[in-house]
Amino acid sequence: MVKEASKSSASREEVVGYHKGSLNTLVAERNELIKIVQVTEALMQAHLKALNDLGVKLETAPAQSREKK
């Protein structure tokens, strides 16, 4: 856990730098996750299209929403 700058031996600039660096890292991680989701969605769409071309009809509602009703 990060201590307050006044109680810590770290200067205010070091604490600010730490948090800025953390945010930069987290933004990069989030962007990579978005890429993974986009690739996954594209693959799912390709498989759905292939099944549709083969005449297989799938329900559009997810199974979880059917169970809740």
Nearest Cα residue to 44 out of 58, 26, 63, 30: 58
pTM of the shown model: 0.62
CA distance 12 to 19: 11
pLDDT at 5: 46
Per-residue pLDDT of the chain (69 residues; tens, 9 = 90+): 555 545 567 899 999 999 999 999 999 999 999 999 999 999 999 999 999 999 999 887 665 555 665
